[in-house]
Every structure is written in C-alpha cells, then in structure tokens.
Amino acid sequence: MQKSQETSVIIIGGGPTGLSLALGLAKYHIKSILLEKKSSISEHSKAPVIHQRTREIFEQWGLGEQFLSRGNLLRELELKTAKNEKTLFHLDFKLLSNEAKQPGMLILKQSETEKILLEAVKGSGFCEVRFDTTAFFLKEVNGGVEAGAKNEDGEYRISGKYVVGCDGASGFTRQALGLSFPGKTYDVRTVLADVNINDKRNELHWPRIHNAKGEITVAIKIDQELWRLIHLETNSDNARSKEKISEEEINQWVINTLGEGSFKKVWESPFEIHRRSSPRFKVGRTLLAGDSAHVHSPVGAQGMNAGIQDAHNLAWKLATVLRGGNEWRLLHSYETERKEAVVEKVSGYTDLMTRSFLQVPFPIRNVSFFLLRKITSVPGLREKFLRRITMINLRYTNSEITDPLILSAGKRLPNIEIFSPDSVRWRLYDLLTLEILILIIGNPKLKKQFPHQIASLTIGDSNYRDPSQKLKKLLGHENGFILVRPDMHIGWAGTSIIQLNIAVNKISAG
C-alpha cells in the first residue's frame, strides 16, 4: 500500500451532494479529496428539477446565472391531462416574489448540474477529484480519520480530519459504519425513460399526464427535443421493478402522453421507491449526506435537492469546526437539523403525496387532484403549498444551536427587496456573505453594542429600507438584532445584546 496522503475532509461519492459539499468547503478554503468509483460524472438527465431553495444556494456560491442560462425556468406550472388537455392544477411561482428572487422551478439535466458543479470544484483549487477510485475501509486514528482507497495503480491511504459519505443508498460509507437503513419500499413499479422527439409534438404543453386505472405516466420536456417519461404502475409489486423495459412499453407510454409518432430512446431506468433513513447521520468523525443518509419518494422531485441542502448545511459547520469552533455542538446540529428538515418534513410530505396520488384507486386519485386544485386556489393555502414544494418553508426548530423560545429562529431568511440609502433596489441575499451577519433593525446606534469583528447591515431610518416590514415581523420588535447564519437561516432574533453574544458563540466559538 502506498504512502498515506493528507487532507482536511475526505468526501466519498461524486454526485450532486458530494460535489456540492466539496464546493461549499472550497468557499471557506477548506481542502478536500473526493473519491468517486465511477469513471466520470453522470451522462444522463436523472434528477432534472432544481427547486428555489437549491437555486438560492447556487446563487450564494456564485453559480446562479450559470444554472439559469443552461436550464429552463418555469415561472408557472400547469399540469394537464394528455387525453383532453384538461388542467388538473396550476401553480404560479411568481406569487413568492415578495420573498424570493426569480421564483420558479428550474428544469436542467442532472448531467449538466454535475458538470457545472465539477467545473466550479476543480476551478476552486481546494479539492482533488479522483474518479475510478473506490473507498474500501475507514477507521478513526489520532484525532482524525483514515480511509483506504484503490484505483488501477493500487491501494493507498488518505488521512483527514473528517469523512463525509455522499455515496448513495447502497454506498460503502454507511455500511462501513454498521448503520441500518430502516423504512419501507412502496408497492409501485416505477420507470424513468428519456426519449428524443423530432416533430410537432415538441410544441405540446408540458407537464402532461396520462392518468388511468392502475397506472400514471407523466411527460416533461427537459431539453429542446428531449422528453422525460415517468411511468408508475400502482397495481404492481416490487418484483416487477427490476424487470427489463421493452421497447413496446416505452412506445405505449409515448403514445399515451405525447401521441403517435417516432421516437429515439436515450435512456431508461427501472427503480424501486423507498422511504428510509439512517438512525445516525454522524458517527465519530464520519458523517452522511444525501441518499447515504435518507431516501424518499421522488414525488415532488426533492431528493437531489435535499442532498445539496445537506451539503450546504454541513459545509459551513465543518469549516467553522476546522477553524476552532465547537465540534460537538455544530456537527450534532447538522444531524438534528437535517433529520428534522428531510426525514420528518420532506419525507413526510412526499409520503403523503405518494399515498394520495399513487397508491390509491383511480377514482380516489381523481378526487386527490380535485382537492389539490381547490387547495391551490385559496390564498394562504396556495402560498403555503408553494413554499413547501419549493422547499423554502424548511426551518430548524430545536437544534443544538437554535433557541426554541425564539419564534423566528431556524427559519430561512426571506430574500426580500430592500432599498439602499440612494434608493437602489437590492435583494437581501445580494448583501449577505458566507459568514455570520447581524441585521440591525431600526436604531442604527445599536451597532455600538455588538462585537465589531462581525459584519452587520442596518435596516431602517437613513440606511437600507425594508418596505415589506418582514424583518420587523421576524424580529417581533421595532428595534433589535437578527443573527443570520452562513446558510441564510436565522440563528437568533431579539433585543438583548447578552443573548445575541451567546447566540453568536454557539455557532462560531470553540
């Protein structure tokens, strides 16, 4: 075995989660080595939906415009039946403009997402990406972790302070930790298929659905002539999930959703739908993120997004710990917060949608669509549903670094429009950094009270103005402080400088 190599963080798995973690760490100048057993990034579309919350993360990392330029941003979503073009429900993401920049659902092939992330990771100079490399052992040694890796040149060891497993539901890392993956498998046969269409059917409205007894097929357009078919059979069993997909089946799905005509199959993938999670996201100096830690139904297209958001939550915490922050408090808060956000909320939501729309008889499914249409037509309920599907509703209510008595603590900071003293319009996120920020609400003289080494922004009087008054509502007072974490969540809000200092120490000090 070759001589051991050293880095700060060893990342196992080079999909969207692993690449996002590498980039997030690089933004803090934290070095990492990423091991990926495949020879390259994905070549297929796989998970082609990027939600608003994930886009905000990419924007913070300086990639927002790249993603927008390569994808198709849906500002409205209208699901219609393929048979008669009847609208089943309609969502207008623009209703979230008061708290989000260019709200919408971005359609982009996962291969393109990984390409953008990989280019950024390599360009950072802080991560070495090693394809065709397999991890085969892990052990803690002398205040760090050692991983065994092997490629065509042989075996070698890598020493790091931490290891993060981003290698998927059946990956090496969680199994090496001896952790189970309890949960359930849905009795639904599911197939993804991408097809090229080269005729007038490319002008059809999408997304569109074939809703019939015992089956559903949805078609979305993910590129100029590329369509994604999502086929689910509800009166099936898990055994059929692994059966080979015939050309005749795909042809029938094309006919049912897009109509008669020729097509070229690009890719297909049968798979099982699970709802599972690891009992631990952290064991010693090894952590889990993305599908290594949790999997859930693809309804709502939130799986890849949840993994990227795991990486976003973890990156600043690892960076803070490596710079002297409190290891126990910060890294345990990663597990607590992401379990609440994904295992309880995202997984619970996708499970409800799966049971309401997939695992029910055809007549009840129609009732579910009717109820959804009614819910999304009522102001208040409509916005609540929009915030959930875009994932901007997720908050952390009671972690090791969040005070449950502060009503706004753990919430995502709304990306509101504010105006500078010279009346230039900004979005609040444009003025944030990758570090802690304190918003001073109301009286600018309050700035004299908190530690000067922490960046601040004054909202009120002759400084920046918030016409929406959302920040005062979050604060609950006319004057005071809002502590913004590096991940754009609220760490604390109130008027007491003593409590503010305590809150700052929780997320920064050793």
Residue 454: what pLDDT? 87
Mean pLDDT of the chain: 93
49-50, strands of its sheet edge to edge: 49-50, 105-107, 72-74
- Ranges 220-224, 263-267, 403-407, 445-449: which has the least confidence: 445-449
pLDDT at 446: 78
Give the residue among 325, 320, 353, 343 at the shortest CA–CA distance from 435.
320
Banded pLDDT at 1 (limits 50, 70, 90): low
Split at pLDDT 50, 70, 90, the class of 352 is confident
Does residue 447 carry a pLDDT above 60?
Answer: yes
- pLDDT (0 to 100) of residue 234: 79
Summarised one tens digit per residue, pLDDT across range 24-42 is: 999 999 999 999 999 999 9
pLDDT tens by residue, 41-86: 998 889 999 999 999 999 999 999 999 999 999 999 999 999 999 9
pTM: 0.95
Q: Residue 390 has which token pair?
A: 């875009």
pLDDT of 3 higher than 70 = no
Checking if the pLDDT of 241 tops 60, the result is no
DSSP reduced 3-state for 73 = strand
Q: Say how far apart CA 195 and CA 44 lie, in whole Å.
A: 12
pLDDT of residue 235: 61
Tokens of 460: 């009120």
pLDDT band at 453 (very low <50, low <70, confident <90, very high): confident
Which one has a higher pLDDT value, 132 or 187?
Answer: 132
Span 243-250, average pLDDT: 87
Question: pLDDT confidence of 189, banded at 50, 70, 90?
Answer: confident
Question: Does pLDDT of 236 surpass 80?
Answer: no
What are the tens digits of pLDDT across the range 116-146?
999 999 999 999 999 999 999 999 998 899 9
E strand spans, 213-290: 215-221, 226-233, 264-271, 274-277, 282-283, 286-288
Spell out the residues 6+ positions from residue 149 whose beta carbon is closer than 8 angstroms to its own: 35, 130, 133, 134, 135, 136, 155, 156, 157, 158
Average pLDDT over every residue of 370-376: 90
Report the Cα 465 to chain-centroid distance in Å: 31
Lowest-confidence segment of 33-47, 318-332, 382-396, 452-466 by average pLDDT: 452-466
Show Cβ contacts of residue 181 under 8 Å, excluding neighbours closer than 6 positions. 169, 174, 276, 277, 278
Task: Look at 156-165, 207-216, 286-295 and tell me which has the smallest mean pLDDT.
Answer: 207-216
Which residue is it, tokens 């005509």? 261
Per-residue pLDDT reduced to its tens digit, 81-116: 999 999 998 999 999 999 999 999 999 999 999 999
147 has which bridge partners?
Answer: 138, 158
Instruction: Read off the amino acid at residue 303.
Output: G
Check residue 354 and give its pLDDT: 86
Amino acid at 199: D
DSSP label at residue 399: -
* Distance (Å) of CA 501 to CA 123, 380, 495, 506: 37, 36, 11, 9
Q: Torsions phi, psi of 306, nearest 5?
A: -65, -40
Q: Say which DSSP state 437 is in.
A: E
DSSP code at position 137: E
Cα distance from N-terminal residue to C-terminal residue, the chain: 37
Task: Provide φ and ψ at 112, rounded to 5°.
Answer: -75, -40
Cα(227)–Cα(197) distance, integer angstroms: 7
Q: What is the DSSP letter of 244?
A: P
Paired sense of beta strands 417-419 and 294-295, if any: unpaired
Distance CA 422, CA 201 (A): 51
Q: Provide the pLDDT for residue 386.
A: 96
Nearest to 491 by CA among 452, 447, 438: 438
Whether the pLDDT of residue 355 is over 60: the answer is yes
Helix 16-26, helix 303-322: angle, nearest 10: 30
The percentage of the chain sitting over the pLDDT mark of 70, rounded to a whole number, equals 97
- In 3D, which of 229, 221, 228 has the Cα closest to residue 203? 221
pLDDT at 262 over 70: yes
pLDDT over threshold 80, residue 468: yes
The answer to whether residues 209 and 78 touch, using CB atoms and an 8 Å cutoff, is: no
Question: Which of the pair, 2 or 152, is modelled with greater confidence?
Answer: 152
Note the pLDDT of residue 463: 87
Tokens for 130?
């090693």
pLDDT of residue 242: 61
Helix ranges (H only) for 339-423 are 347-357, 362-375, 381-389
Poorest-confidence range of 170-179, 275-284, 396-405? 396-405
Predicted confidence (pLDDT) at residue 204 exceeds the cutoff of 70: yes
Burial class (CB in 10 A: 0-12, 13-18, 19+), 270: middle
Mapping DSSP onto H, E and C, the string for 19-54 reads: HHHHHHHHCCCCCEEEECCCCCCCCCCCCCEECHHH
